[in-house]
Amino acid sequence: MTTPENASFADLALSAPLLKVLQEVGYESPSPIQAASIPALLEGNDILGMAQTGTGKTAAFALPMLNKIDLKKKHPQVLVLAPTRELAIQVAEAFQVYARHMPGFHVLPIYGGQSIDIQLKHLRRGAQVVVGTPGRVMDHLRRKSLSLEKLDSFVLDEADEMLRMGFIEDVEWILEHAPKQRQVALFSATMPAAIKKVTQKYLNNPVEIKIKSKTTTVENIDQRYIQVTPRFKIDALTRILESEPFDGVIIFARTKTATVELAEKLEARGYASSALNGDMSQQLRERTINNLKKSKIDIVVATDVAARGIDVSRITHVINYDMPHDTESYVHRIGRTGRAGRTGTAILFSSPRERRMLFAIEKATKAPLKEMQLPCAETIASKRVEQFKQTITDTMESVDLTFFTQLVDEYTQSQDISAHEAAAALVYLCQKDRPLQYKEEIPAPRESRERNSHSNRNERPSRGERGERRPRRQQSDVALTTYRIEVGRDQGVTPRDIVGAIANEAGIDSQHIGHIKLHNDFSTVDLPAGMPKDMLQHLKRVRIRNNPMRISLDQGGFKK
């Protein structure tokens, strides 16, 4: 499935307040998943979207749902279930942004680990959209503080994640409590059998939306990726630009606003750059591309749409500053380099959350992307020194320095100092904006990428069902304590149930949940040390397979 060439949000029959906000946030055109989902949901269909994070799936359901909301009514009209509290918050925030021009709109995230009293207060006040994790939503349904009676739409976000975390039965229980005549949108990156069963049982003739990943080979392009957290992207980018020998560069950003901001930041750092986006007139766009061709500028920061078809042979580098929405647009983007029989370099910025798209890209291009390390401060410093020396040489060769030599002579004689002391002071002044003794380090993302077996790259590693769960990753700097919970094999508990319950109810990221060992009537689990008392109290009451966990510190262990 591809986006039609001329697709625009305006064609999608969205309301004026939504179109206005899309203009403000700078989305230029719908991503493929949006182009397909928005009309289908607006028409009232159920949908089954096979899409992962980064494809724009949140807006794919949030926009049509918002379009249909009746602001005069305060009861929940849309319920979104998400596997983790982080995602629930993220989705709720997205709704809030997209509903910026819809007065009276309320969205409420509800998840474990947050005070239930606060949630009860907010629920009483009314919210048209509720975004929650399954455990907490069930809790509220049981207490009758949340009613799904008048629910119009239901979204299951990252359904395979919910399955992986052991929530699928809870999800089904919640679905059973929703009216029969509701719309369901289910999103999942993969389609395990259990999810297929849910779709068959609860979705009514769904429109299936799958982003096709064509396989393509791009042999003359050196493809690399770099792990970087969003906060440090701009520093990472400038470092790459300082250390990579480049001629022309195209940097891809997701939004029109981002292209302008980034081009301005690069200008401020001394790079001849311009933005290229759909807000610019055709004439201005052509002029920008011409400037790049004629080396009047070296860097163009573009959106996908604006960069379509650019053919400039001096482009040595394509930098995917923001992850593309699908593998096809990745292939389009990197095709801007390596033209006219030349070789090119493509560098992809990837945050830990975007790992899946990275795998999908590797599959589509049939080429593993090489991990690239960010050039260290020392390398940058020595590059700068080298360049600085070259600038001195170039200046001596090309400029008449008579006046300046006389000035230096005069100064050094009057001050009784040597010429090289004066030169050192001048060098110091010249490098202030770009220090030659560069020392800043950029921290690596905390979660580094896992390379699984080649064939299984698209899947997350599955957890052992044999009663042992090894932590996916042991964070060396997180001290773990062993806790005991009073449920085990006899209660039919699996490690996945335990991870799910703890991750959701205590808001502990599943990667920080350590080794789990199941015994017949109890289990042990390693968790970050220093769990707050109220969280422990809360977890004691949390039920796994209908048995209270009754968590307590295991006698014995403080481990590192």
For residue 224, give the 3-state DSSP assignment. strand
Q: How far apart are CA 217 and CA 462, in angstroms?
A: 30
Least CB distance from residue 56 to ligand AMP, whole Å?
A: 3
Pairing label, strands 47-50, 183-188: parallel
Q: Mention every residue, 6+ apart, whose C-beta is less than 8 A from residue 448.
A: 227, 352, 473
| Shortest spacing between CB 333 and ligand AMP, in angstroms | 14
Residue 318 or 485: which CB sits closer to ligand AMP?
318
Ranges within 407-426 binding ligand AMP (CB under 6 A): none
Please tell me what DSSP assigns to residue 320: E
Nearer to ligand AMP, 319 or 513 (CB): 319
Indicate the residue among 28 and 139 with the shorter CB distance to ligand AMP: 28
Least separation in angstroms between residue 90's CB and ligand AMP is 7
Q: Which of residues 128-187 bind ligand AMP (CB under 6 A)?
A: none
How many contiguous H segments (helices) and E segments (strands) does the chain have?
A: 20, 21
Nearer to ligand AMP, 54 or 76 (CB): 54
Q: Candidates 48-56, 69-77, 275-283, 385-393 — which segment interacts with ligand AMP by CB under 6 A?
A: 48-56
By the 10 Å C-beta count (0-12 exposed, 13-18 middle, 19+ buried), 150 is classed as exposed
Binding residues for ligand AMP, how many (CB under 6 A)?
14
Q: How far is the CB of 34 from ligand AMP (least distance, A)?
A: 6
Nearest approach, Cβ of 269 to ligand AMP (angstroms)? 24
Closest to ligand AMP by CB, 255 or 491: 255
CB of 70: closest distance to ligand AMP in angstroms? 25
59-98 residues near ligand AMP, rule: CB under 6 A: 59
Looking at the Cβ atoms of 25 and 116, the one nearer to ligand AMP is: 25
Query: Chain centroid to CA 185: how far?
Result: 21
Residue 76: name the closest of 113, 126, 37, 124 by CA.
126
E strands, 18-121, in order: 47-50, 78-81, 107-110
Contact assessment for residue 289 and residue 310, using Cβ atoms and an 8 Å cutoff: yes
How many other CB atoms are there within 10 angstroms of residue 144's CB atom?
Answer: 7
Does 55 bind ligand AMP (CB under 6 A)? Our answer is yes
The dihedral region occupied by 348, where left means phi > 0, alpha psi between -120 and 50, and beta the remainder, is beta
Residues 213-272 that bind ligand AMP (CB under 6 A): 254-255
CA pair distance 436, 391, nearest whole angstrom: 13
- Among the residue ranges 50-58, 174-182, 197-205, 267-275, the one whose residues contact ligand AMP (CB under 6 A): 50-58
Work out how close the CB of 2 gets to ligand AMP at its nearest, in angstroms, rounded to a whole number. 14
**Cβ at position 522, least distance to ligand AMP in Å:** 39
Answer for which of 12, 30, 79, 506 binds ligand AMP (CB under 6 A) is: 30
Binding region for ligand AMP (CB under 6 A) out of 11-19, 27-35, 234-242, 503-511: 27-35
Nearer to ligand AMP by Cβ, of 34 and 37: the residue is: 34
Among 45, 58, 84, 524, binds ligand AMP (CB under 6 A): 58
How far apart (Å, rounded) are the C-alpha atoms in residues 400 and 410? 18
The edge-to-edge listing of strands for the beta sheet with 129-132 is 107-110, 129-132, 78-81, 153-156, 183-188, 47-50, 207-210
C-alpha 426/C-alpha 554 separation (Å) is 65
Q: Are 555 and 507 in contact (CB under 8 A)?
A: no
Report the distance separating Cα 553 and Cα 542, nearest Å: 16
Using the minimum distance from each CB to ligand AMP, give the nearer residue, 211 or 501: 211
Q: Of these, 3, 48, 57, 508, which contacts ligand AMP (CB under 6 A)?
A: 57
Q: Is 54 a residue that touches ligand AMP (CB under 6 A)?
A: yes
- Of the pair 155, 195, the CB lying nearest ligand AMP is at 155
Binding of ligand AMP by 27 (CB under 6 A): yes
Q: Which is nearer to ligand AMP, 123 or 331 (CB)?
A: 331
Residues 6+ apart with CB under 8 A from 450: 355, 461, 472, 473
* Closest by CA position to 156, among listed 168, 148, 146: 168
Q: Where are the beta strands (DSSP E) in 142-220?
A: 153-156, 183-188, 207-210
CA distances from 330 to 66, 302, 461 (A): 30, 13, 25
Minimum gap (Å) between residue 178 Cβ and ligand AMP: 23
Nearer to ligand AMP, 49 or 135 (CB): 49
- Cβ closer to ligand AMP: 133 or 481? 133
Only one of the segments 24-32, 136-144, 517-525, 533-541 lies at the binding site for ligand AMP (rule: CB under 6 A); that segment is: 24-32
3, 12, 18, 34: which one contacts ligand AMP (CB under 6 A)? 34
Residues in the site for ligand AMP, rule: CB under 6 A?
A: 27-28, 30-31, 34, 53-59, 254-255
